Amino acid sequence: MKRSYSSGMAFALASFASIGVIVTITAVLTARIYGVTVLGEGVLALAPVAIVTLLSTTREQPAMVRVIAKLEPRDPAVTGIWLAVFSFSSLLTSVATALGIGASYLIFNGPIDHPDLFAPAAVALLSYLLIVNPAWNVDGVLGAFLAGKELFAVRLHQAVMYGVLIVGLSFVDHSVWSLTFAYVGSWLTSLVHRLALLPRVVRLRVPRSEIRAGFAKLREIVVFGLKITPGSIASGLSDSSGTWILGVSSTVNAVGAYSRASMIATRLGEFNWRITEMLLPTLVQRQATGDTEGYNRVLADSLRYVTFGLLLPAAVAGGAAEAVMAVVFGSAFAPAAGALVWVLFAPVLQSLTAIQGVVLISANQPIWTTIAQIARLIVTVVAGVVLTNALGMTGMGLAVALGCFSSLAIFAIVIRSRAAFPSPRFASLLRQLVGLAAAYAGGFAVARAITDNVDGVPGLVLALIMGSLAYVITAIAVGGTKDRDRARLRQLMVRASPRFAPH
């Protein structure tokens, strides 16, 4: 069932779009049903999971993908390697979870001063150990074989189940416990679904010699992963720094309001995981077969399309930020509008960084990912403390954007200096950059002008539609398109309707 990059990306895009809609609707319902205070408590209760997630990995999953992506699905060697990595991951997660529970008790009874949140935090941490980590291990082996269709199915299941539980549990309880049990329940049912799909890529019974061979490979995999681990930890700490900085320096309500702005950016940022999940095995395979032209084409187009696609919501939702926060989530969330403008830059910057990070991993130069992400952490935390004190939530949003830009700049310099892929002609690159800048400005200005003059839901809907049109038209008119872009568009049109086929 090993599939192509195009097929995997098609399902990744479908997953990103459809699940994004479901998650956004769920986020709105959560805000409306539970309110800003309970939402803020929920964010704080789940925050330790994010930290334990960072401490319970040596980035063994991408290191494993580098090895098994060269094999065929259900090859006996895949079972041995996956079982070894899963065993190691489970042991490490057990230790990290125990430490996380102890640290949570001290933090919630100390600087955060919310001892009532320790119990839901402990439940969430235990569910991470027993449910979430096994689910991610299954995702890793499915992704290695570009199983986009299967991953789409389980993630759609999980998103829908979370929404159903969020609404259903609200009839029983309106506290942080409902948010916690919805999180646990959605992961539990989707884990069962994942386990049902696992035999498509992993043999459940193999000779013991294959298992021994897999464990023999473990050291090599872990050593490679350790080169990425500090960068991964730094990246995760950067992502969660806003919650902790606001949690210490501000109110629970501020955390809740900022979390909705951050959630929108995080949801868009999910696309970088979907891309790299398909891109890493693709680059590894093309590198193994010596397909340099295909390697460069996939990489260049991934960078171009991601920039174009993710800068659009940054422009339009940024221009309409006040309406997005007040109309969608409620007036209590409106103070986070300034933060939303800035955090919306994070998805596009992080996705470009992630793609270039995959290049370095596939080229066996992972140490640069660590350097770049540590730089991002330093910039985010230092700027976050300073700017949050000066500008509140808006300052934290600006700090997030500055941190992401710093890591992207380092990656870009390293990759260009090492000639990892051919540099585009200066005139072509300049035109594309000018086109994107003009498109952002146009989409932002149109969305802002409409929401300033038309109130409520009609103004927001009109702003999003017209801002998007302004962005796309400006980007194409100024930045231009390539022959293969037009060819792919014609291909999509033919798939959508046979009447577009050439006669």
Buried b (16+ CB within 10 A) or exposed e, 60-98: bbbbbbbbbbebebbbbbbbbbbbbbbebbeebbeebbe
DSSP code, position 116:
G
Residue 500 gets which letter from DSSP?
G
pLDDT at 492: 55
Same domain, 369 and 449: no
Structural domain span for residue 446:
424-503
Asked if residue 314 and residue 203 are part of one domain, the reply reads yes
**Number of helical H runs and strand E runs in the chain:** 18, 0
The band of 17, judged by pLDDT with boundaries at 50, 70 and 90, is low
Residue-wise pLDDT tens digits, 297-339: 777 777 788 888 889 999 999 999 999 998 888 888 888 999 9
Whether 319 and 437 share a structural domain = no
Distance CA 39, CA 401 (A): 24
Residue 411 three-state SS: helix
Alpha carbon distance 399, 381 (integer Å): 8
Q: Which residue has the higher pLDDT, 366 or 114?
A: 114
pLDDT band, very low/low/confident/very high, at 5 (cuts 50, 70, 90): low
Of 423, 452, 485, the residue that ends a domain is 423
Q: Residue with structure tokens 């270039």?
A: 356
- Are residues 362 and 349 both part of a single domain? yes
pLDDT of residue 481: 63
Note whether 405 and 491 are same-domain residues. Answer: no
Domain count, the chain: 2
Closest to 483 measured CA to CA, from 297, 282, 283, 291 = 297
Give per-residue pLDDT as tens, 272-299. 666 776 777 777 777 777 777 777 777 7
Give 475-501 pLDDT, tens digit per residue: 888 866 666 666 655 665 555 555 545
CA triple 172-177-182, angle to 5 deg: 80
Q: CA geometry: angle at 431 spanning 426 and 433, to 5°?
A: 95
Same domain, 494 and 450: yes
What average pLDDT does this structure show over 225-229?
80
Kindly tell me the burial class for residue 207, based on how many C-beta atoms sit within 10 Å of its own C-beta (0-12, 13-18, 19 or more).
exposed
8 Å CB contact between 240 and 107: no
179-205: per-residue pLDDT in tens?
999 999 999 999 999 999 999 999 988
Do 17 and 94 belong to one domain?
yes
- Rounded to an integer, what distance in angstroms lies between the CA atom of residue 251 and that of residue 391? 15
Q: Which two tokens stand for residue 29?
A: 């319902």
User: Are residues 273 and 126 both part of a single domain?
Assistant: yes
What length is written for the chain?
503
Is residue 151 located within the same domain as residue 141? yes
Handedness of CA 217, 219, 220, 225 (dihedral sign): positive
Check if the beta carbon of residue 178 is closer than 8 Å to that of residue 172: yes
Q: Which whole-number Å values give the CA distances from 348 to 305, 411, 432, in the listed order? A: 10, 14, 15
pLDDT digits (tens, 9 = 90+) for 119-161: 999 999 999 999 999 999 999 898 888 777 888 899 899 999 9
Task: Give the pLDDT mean for 115-119.
Answer: 92
CA-nearest of 245, 260, 377 to 325 is: 260
Residue-averaged pLDDT of the chain: 83
> 353 Cβ partners below 8 Å, 6+ apart?
272, 372, 404, 407, 408, 411
According to the per-residue pLDDT averaged within each range, which of 228-242, 408-422, 467-481 is highest?
Answer: 467-481
Residue 189: per-residue pLDDT: 96
Using pLDDT thresholds of 50, 70 and 90, give the confidence band for residue 420: very low
One domain for residues 235 and 101? yes
Where is the domain boundary, 423, 441, 468? 423
Please tell me the distance from the alpha carbon of residue 259 to that of residue 242, in angstroms, as a whole number: 9
Do 221 and 351 reside in the same domain of the chain? yes
Cα torsion at 33, 339, 389, 107 (round to 10°)?
A: 40
Q: Of the candidates 408, 423, 438, which is a domain's last residue?
A: 423
Residues 444-466, mean pLDDT to the nearest whole number: 93
Helix axes 5-55, 76-108, angle to 10 degrees: 40
- One-letter amino acid of 424: P
Q: Are residues 357 and 274 in the same domain?
A: yes
- Pick 211 or 230 by higher pLDDT: 211
Report how far residue 284's alpha carbon sits from residue 165's, in angstroms, rounded to the nearest whole number: 39
| DSSP one-letter code for 420 | S
Task: Name residue 42's amino acid.
Answer: G
Q: Which residue has the tokens 């990425």?
A: 228
